[in-house]
Amino acid sequence: MTDDQSPGDRRTRQVLVVALAGLSGATDAISLLALGGVFTSVMTGNLVLLGTALPTLDGAQALSSGTALLAFCAGVALGTVLAGTPQPGDGVWPPRVTAALAVEAALFAGYAIGWWATGPDRGAMAALLLLGTTAVALGVQTSTVQRFGVPGLSTTFLTGTLAGVVVRLCTRQPLRDVLPSVQVVVGLVVGAAAGAAAVTALPDAAPAVQLAVIALVLVVALLRFHRGRAAAPPEVHR
């Protein structure tokens, strides 16, 4: 087992994955409460909202849910290009994961600037642009996490994760096999609570919560998974 496949590194990755799930929850809560009443990562919900908007001719809801859907798909495509797919010899945290998450952070930074510039009385078009930006960001995150090559791992759509927890519990699988999925689900809920609290009690702080989480993930990833590699001397080939 190499250093970048150590149990400690896998535990660190799990913590960062839970943090990313929290970011997803916070972003969904903020978009639901302040950016058009739709989700930025729960595309099943947006598909339902789009469907319900059609017979009622609710143009605003259809536009919001359709924008989130298209932006999320664009983000998934971008994240796939940036992070790539699982490769033989991948470590616990491949460098391209960090690069893709840096792009996600840049998208959140642009969104935060837009949020603060437009203020609480922002118009429908500004809200739509902010919604689209965060949906692209979470689309990037969704496909980037797939680079880890861990079956069933997600930080955004967690219906399958929750179902897997129930199945494992009903089949009496060891708790250690269930705990990582439970942690991700809890992370999403805690993030949603934090996002909802921020956007209702102190709206100006809402983007700061999101930026703090993605920045923390990047800093820890750089220090834990890349610093040693960058400092190591090149191998001498004989």
How far apart, in Å, are the Cα atoms of 118 and each of 66, 93, 204, 211? 22, 37, 11, 18
Average pLDDT of the segment spanning 104-120: 96
Give which of 93, 185, 104 is closest to 141, Cα–Cα: 104
Angstrom distance (rounded) from CA 171 to CA 57: 46
Looking at residue 211, what is its pLDDT?
97
Q: Which of 2-16, 37-51, 64-78, 124-138 has the lowest mean pLDDT?
A: 2-16
pTM for the full predicted model: 0.90
Cβ contact 168:160 at 8 Å:
no
Give which of 42, 18, 136, 128 is closest to 80, Cα–Cα: 136
Q: What is the sign, positive or negative, of the torsion defined by CA atoms of 189, 195, 200, 202?
A: positive
Residue 169 in tokens: 């519990």
